[in-house]
Structures are given as C-alpha cells and as structure tokens.
C-alpha cells in the first residue's frame, strides 16, 4: 500500500529545480498572471466606468467583450498548452507534478485534482504538463460551467482541453479520452 508507493521512484515534471527564474521571466510571470486574474473583473470594471462616466466607448467595448462568448473555441490546443508562459508560471510557483506509480496505457483513468478554487492555478499548470507525464493517454477535463459563459475564460479553458462540467460532457469525455 502506502509504504510501497513511497519507496517507488518518483517521476517529476513541470519545473526545473536546478534553475532559478530570471528577472525577465519573473516579470512575464507576474504580468501575465495579473492579466489572468483581471479577466473575470474586466466586465464589471468596464460597466462601472460606462455608467459613472457615461462612456459609450466603454459600453461598446463591454458588448464586444461579451460577444466573444459566442465565438467557437478550439478544444485542446497543443500550441497553447506548450507556450512558454506556462513554463514561466510553473517555475514562478515552483510547481512540479509527481507520479508515484506508472499508469498503464491500456487502461482509462479519472484524475481528480484538488484543492481548486476561483482561480485554479495548480490544475491549469498540471494541465499543461499532464500529457508529458502520461504520454500514452489523451487527456481531457471538465471545468466549472460558469467559466464557459465568461468572456475570454471560455477560450482559455477550452484551449486547455476543458469542457463545461455537465454529466453529458463528463460521459462524452470518458468515451473520447484515455484519461
């Protein structure tokens, strides 16, 4: 059981522990994380600005922003998952993904990740390296349905390989993916 798993060789992905993040990489990490954290509050800020200053430009921007939810989003965009920004984020948070046992390529798995919250950084970072960890599997995920109704977040989570967390999507993902 537990003792056998602890004695096994651990496989780590996601972070180069021998390398310290440069000042430029830290700046890129902090700036892009700031943008990520501001995405959900942008519509409220634009609405407040439009009302307080009677700005038709802010209102037009708000309408354009909300219209992005209507645009189709590619699911599981490999180029997005492999972009350098996620590597910088993993380095910034000293994130690593550890597997205690080998996953059999012939079996299907459901991986539950927690804790997670309003800004799920750990599951996002794990999603950018999980296919390196278990290359014989096609990995899909489900995420809170409300992010797919939020401007820009819909595309962000779709590109990570997520779908709205409905029973139908979960069952469909089990049929399509190997993990």
pLDDT, tens digit, 9 for 90 and up, residues 57-116 = 999 999 999 999 999 999 889 899 989 999 999 889 888 777 677 777 777 778 877 666
Tell me how far CA of residue 35 lies from CA of 41, 79, 91, 151, 163, in angstroms: 10, 20, 18, 13, 22
Do the beta carbons of residue 91 and residue 21 sit within 8 Å?
yes
Residue 46 CB contacts under 8 Å (≥ 6 apart), including other chains: 58, 59, 61, 62, 65
What dihedral angle (degrees, nearest 10) is formed by the CA atoms of 70, 76, 77, 81? 120
Residue found by looking up tokens 């537990």 in the block? 2
Q: Which pLDDT value is given to residue 14?
A: 58
Q: CA angle, 116 as apex, 44 and 81 as ends, to 5°?
A: 85
154 vs 130, higher pLDDT: 154
156 compared with 1, residue with greater pLDDT: 156
**Gap between the Cα atoms of 107 and 100, Å rounded:** 17
Quickly tell me which residue has 């909300």 as its tokens.
Answer: 66
Distance CA 4, CA 19 (A): 31
Each residue of 132-155: pLDDT tens digit? 777 777 788 898 899 999 999 999
pLDDT, residue 76, reads 86
Contact assessment for residue 120 and residue 154, using Cβ atoms and an 8 Å cutoff: no
Q: How far apart are CA 126 and CA 113, in angstroms?
A: 9
pTM above 0.85, yes or no: no
CA-based nearest residue to 131, from 73, 82, 94, 74:
82
Q: Which residue has the higher pLDDT, 50 or 177?
A: 50
């Amino acid at each position: 059981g537990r003792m056998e798993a602890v004695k096994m060789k651990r496989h780590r992905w996601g972070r180069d522990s021998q390398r310290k993040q440069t000042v430029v990489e830290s700046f890129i990490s902090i700036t892009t994380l700031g943008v990520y954290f501001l995405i959900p509050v942008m519509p409220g800020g634009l609405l407040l600005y439009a009302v307080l200053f009677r700005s038709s430009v802010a209102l037009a921007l708000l309408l354009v922003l909300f219209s992005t939810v209507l645009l189709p989003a590619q699911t599981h965009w490999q180029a997005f998952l492999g972009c350098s920004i996620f590597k910088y984020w993993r380095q910034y948070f000293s994130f690593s993904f550890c597997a205690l046992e080998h996953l059999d390529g012939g079996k299907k798995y459901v991986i539950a990740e927690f804790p997670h919250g309003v800004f799920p950084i750990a599951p996002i970072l794990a999603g950018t390296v999980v296919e390196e960890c278990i290359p014989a599997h096609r990995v899909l995920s489900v995420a809170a349905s409300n992010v797919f109704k939020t401007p820009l977040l819909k595309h962000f989570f779709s590109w990570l390989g997520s779908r709205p967390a409905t029973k139908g999507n979960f069952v469909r993902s089990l049929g399509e993916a190997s993990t």
